[in-house]
Structure formats: C-alpha cells, structure tokens
Amino acid sequence: MIIAIDGPAASGKGTLGKRLADHLGFAHLDTGLLYRAVAAVLLARGIPLSDREAAARAAESLDVSHLDAPDLRGAAMGEAASVISAYQPVRDALLAFQRQFGRQEPGAVLDGRDIGTVVCPDADVKLFITARPEERARRRHLELLRRGEDVAYETILADIRRRDERDMTRPTAPLKAAADAITLDTTNLDADAAFRAALAIIDGKLRKS
C-alpha cells in the first residue's frame, strides 16, 4: 500500500507522514531530504547550484544512508534544494529510488511535492497538505528557533513565498494536487488534529476500495 502526501514547504506534510507511517507500521520517506542531500554535496564541494550537470551526477551517486543528518534540515539547505529540484536530470536520477521505496511491504508513506502526480501516480491514497503562507512561516520560524537558528519571521515568510512560486511554476514536476488527491488545510489544525483528519481520510478511502 502506498500513501502519497504532497504539499508546499512547512505545511506539516513531513511530520504527518512520519506519524502516519509509525501508526500504520509502514516505511516513511521524506523525499525532500533527497534533494537537500544532493544540494549538500554540491555545496560541500564548492560547486555552484546552477551547475545542472554536477547536480545530476551528485544525484546519480547519492548516498542515501545519511538522510537523517541534522545539517539537511536548515533553512538554507531548503532553499538550495528548491533550486536543484527544478532540474529534470536530478529528478530522473532520484525517481527510481523513490518508486522502489514505495514498493515495500506492508506499505510506505512518501511525502514531497510530486508524489501523487509523478512518483507514485497509482498510490492507494493521495493527500495534499496545505496551509496559509503566514502559518507555515510561523511554524518554520519556531522550528528553526528550537534548533538554535535565529532567522527573522519576515525572512522565512519571503522564502516560503519564493519557494511556492518556484515550485508551482517550474516546468519539471510542478507542485500541484493530483486530480484524485484529497486536500487537507492544516492552517487551523495542530499536529494531533491533522493526524486524526488524515487518518480518517485514509480509513474512508480504504473502506471504499
């Protein structure tokens, strides 16, 4: 069984995806970390993010055993990942791994920006998680403060709006809800309420199948 979760930056899809996977006993993959890891390779080697060929080579040889590295979670790495994720060769290089991950038994939860539309178009359940930019910026601001990163709220909000624009307008796998996805707006939901709502959607989909 595959559960695809898509949505913009800081919408809560990663936290929700992990919690659903833990509850269901499924594997979980935050696909955004793959792109952050590729960007981290380029930055560590002093290669400009604009070097598409180098980004593709880094994606093809990516070591996925270090996706839990703390340095991948920062705001700067998120911005860098948003840049290289627009490169088709990078997405092509990572696609096979994501699809293979989704075939695990008894199931897998994958979250990202093109899971329901490109990576796993035949997923059993597709969720599109969103929230107002101001709320997403507030959440990200608190998250970064807890990690000791002192970034102004206004800077984060501008970054989120810039990433939304880039993700939604890129020609390669643009961010959008799949035609058969169910949209869940978490603007006024805390983590527990979002989890309950998502679980109810999943249960409802399974009962109809």
8 in a labelled binding site: yes
15 in a labelled binding site: yes
Query: What is the distance, to the nearest Å, from the Cα of residue 193 to the centroid of all Cα atoms in its chain?
Result: 20
13 in a labelled binding site: yes
Encoded tokens for 60: 């093809």
10 in a labelled binding site: yes
What DSSP element (H or E) covers 125? strand 125-130
> In the sheet where 182-185 sits, what is the strand order?
27-30, 108-112, 2-6, 125-130, 182-185
194 in a labelled binding site: no
How much helix, strand and coil, in percent to the nearest 5, is found in the chain? 55, 10, 30
155 in a labelled binding site: no
208 in a labelled binding site: no
- What residues are designated binding site for ATP? 7-15
- What residues are designated binding site? 7-15
